[in-house]
Structure formats: structure tokens, C-alpha cells
Amino acid sequence: MSTKYFYNDMWPYVSRFLPNLEDSARQCGAIKRSRNVPSAEALIRMGMAYAVSDLSFKDVAAWARALEIAQISGPGLHYRIKTGEAWFEMLLTGVLEEEVRCEPVGFRVKLVDATVITGPGSVGTDWRAHISLDPDTGRIISVELTDAKGGEIFSRFTFERGEIVLGDQGYTSPRGIYSVVSSGAHLLFRVNPYSLRVCDVQKQRMSLLSYMETVGGNEIKEWDVLVPVPSDDAKKTWSSDRAKAWVRGRILAFRTQKGDVIWLFTDLDSKKLPKESAKKLFRVRWQIELLFKRLKSLLHLDELPTRKGPTAKSWLLLKFLAAALSQRLLAPTERFSPRGVRAQFNLL
């Protein structure tokens, strides 16, 4: 990364999107005394320099000394980043919550999904980033970081009344479905036919796989169904008779060009969301996959420097904070010239 990148200083412009830095840093314990780090602004600037560059703590400390941002050593910066985790999470939440949202016209759509993040030498999942996205603007709405045990479920997110939530088959959970409809929102998600228990309108168990052969190549099949929701204390095997609630909806099925059957569930009736419209709308979900590709190719989110080290979560939070600030500077869906002024904005 070139030296010009760090000396082209747009930080005063960027930092205005980070209000109350001093108060919030002391509230979270990120700064208790100003020895070596003169201000909270200096700390967040060094933290983001570490997260969005390929520099080590020692290199970032040297850069900070050269620009007279702070007089700190590499180990000292490591300690500050480690203890700033709660503060970085607060800043990320604050920046995302301050996004200006337009009043919805008709249904407002929200996309949810998770991406896996692994460190060097990993043989499995180290972290999951659970993200919700506004497809109209391409902006991230919320981020939650968990370890490998943090599964995909709709109840991780908050939803507004009347919006439609789009998800993939990893969200096939009756409790998650119930959490969405209970909030007044609506669902359209891809179903895993092996894991979702569905019943007909008489509450008799039905197997989706038994209907697979009836799905033709150019048609969309549709069934009215009920999804039983297990009680909070239900075990792995439970009876539908003891369901605490039933969610009414529709199963839609169609074949891809390769001949695979796609199963969708929605709680909206056919008047509000016809099956052809549901099929087209579900394609919008691909936008969140493109977001993951951008985060990993432009912000190098998949290059976690340490798997479970004390600064791993801070590094991830700072990465997402950089993404949140970037979308405040320039809407992801806005067109611009690579030679234009907007292309020269520097977060550091």
C-alpha cells in the first residue's frame, strides 16, 4: 500500500460521522487515561489504519508517530485495540443506526444472511458475520459477529411492521419464522425441505419431497400450509400437538434450468404476493451475496490475521466500521467516475 494513501488526509471529513468519540470511548473503557494516545479520535484512526491496511501494529504505530497522531509502540497499540472491542461495536452500531431511511412505498424489502470468516490455518469456521441489507440502496443495516456456534436464525435481527424479509435455506427454523411474523413483518425465504416441518390446513403432516415429481419445468406449484412452532422447552423430537403457535403460509416450488427444485415459503397470500412475483422477488436476495464478495475483495474481510487472538473481533468490527463509513460517503448503488473526486476519499 502506497505512502500517499496515508498522507492524503481526508480524516477531518470522515470523522464527522463518528460523533461523541471521547465520551463513548471512556464509557466503554477504551480510554481510561491519555498516556501515549492523546484522544479517542487518535485511537479510532489508528485502529482503522490497522484494519484496512496490511500493516502490523508496529508499522501502524510508526505511521502514527510520523504524522504526530500518537506516540505509541506496537505492543501498546495492540493492547489498546484489544481493550477497545466494546467501543468499536458501539461505534459501528451508531453509524448504522444513523442511516437516513426513506418512507416505504408498498413493501419494504430487507435481506438477511451470514458469511463465514476464517483465520490462517483454520480447518473450519472461526467467525460468522450476520448481516441485514437494504437492497434498494445497497446499504448495510446491521451487523452481528458470532463464533462458529452462532447459527443463522431470523430472531437475530429486528424487523419493522410490513416489510418483507428475504433469506436463504439456512434460516429454516420455525422459531425464527415465528419471530418475524410476530413482529408484523413478512417472509419470503428458501426452504430446506429436509428440516422444515409443514402441515396441511387440517394440521396433518406433509412431506414436501413427496411433491417433487409434480413440479414441472415451466410452472410454479403452490400449496397452502401451516408451520407448527415448538414450545421453548421442546426437545429435538416433539409432537405438533404441543405446538405453541401455527404460522399460516404458502409453499412455492419451481425448477431451475438445471432441473433442481427450489422451495420457497411466504406468509403472504397470493393477492398480496402472486407466485410469479414471489419468484422474481427472491432473486433480489443475490444482492447480499454480492455484498459479501465486495467486502472480501475490497476490504479483504477474509484475510483475518489471527483466528482467535485477542484482537480478532476488534479487527472485524473495524472492518465493518470502515464499510459503514464508506456507505455514508458514497451510496453503494450510486454511479461515479473512477477519476472523480469521490474515488479519492481516504478513510485514514
- What confidence score (pLDDT) does residue 348 get? 45
User: In the predicted model, is pLDDT for residue 2 greater than 60?
Assistant: no
Find the mean pLDDT for residues 71-88: 94
Cα(322)–Cα(135) distance, rounded to whole angstroms? Answer: 20
Question: Sorting pLDDT into bands at 50, 70 and 90, what band is 138?
Answer: confident
Tell me the average pLDDT of the chain: 87
- What confidence score (pLDDT) does residue 112 get? 97
Find the mean pLDDT for residues 142-154: 93
Cell numbers of 151, please?
Answer: 447459527
**Which residues lie across from 114 on neighbouring strands?**
130
Question: Sorting pLDDT into bands at 50, 70 and 90, what band is 337?
Answer: very low
User: In the predicted model, is pLDDT for residue 92 greater than 50?
Assistant: yes
- Range with lowest mean pLDDT among 128-132, 163-167, 199-203, 339-343: 339-343
- What confidence score (pLDDT) does residue 13 get? 81
Question: Sorting pLDDT into bands at 50, 70 and 90, what band is 310?
Answer: confident
Sign of the dihedral defined by the CA atoms of residues 167, 231, 145, 36, in that order: positive
- Range with lowest mean pLDDT among 28-42, 95-109, 128-142, 174-188: 95-109
Query: Can you state the angle between helices 40-52 and 74-83, rounded to 10 degrees?
Result: 100
Find the mean pLDDT for residues 11-19: 84
- What confidence score (pLDDT) does residue 106 get? 57
- What confidence score (pLDDT) does residue 122 get? 78
Find the mean pLDDT for residues 145-169: 93
- What confidence score (pLDDT) does residue 345 get? 34
Amino acid at 258: K
User: In the predicted model, is pLDDT for residue 184 greater than 50?
Assistant: yes
What percent of the chain is predicted at pLDDT more than 70? 90
Residue with the bigger pLDDT between 15 and 6: it is 15
- What confidence score (pLDDT) does residue 120 get? 82
pTM: 0.84
Amino acid at 345: F
Q: Per residue in 170-198, is it b (16+ CB within 10 Å) or e — as a string?
A: bbbbbbbbbbbbebebbbbbbbebeebbb
The burial of 296, by beta-carbon neighbours within 10 Å (0-12 exposed, 13-18 middle, 19 or more buried), is given as middle
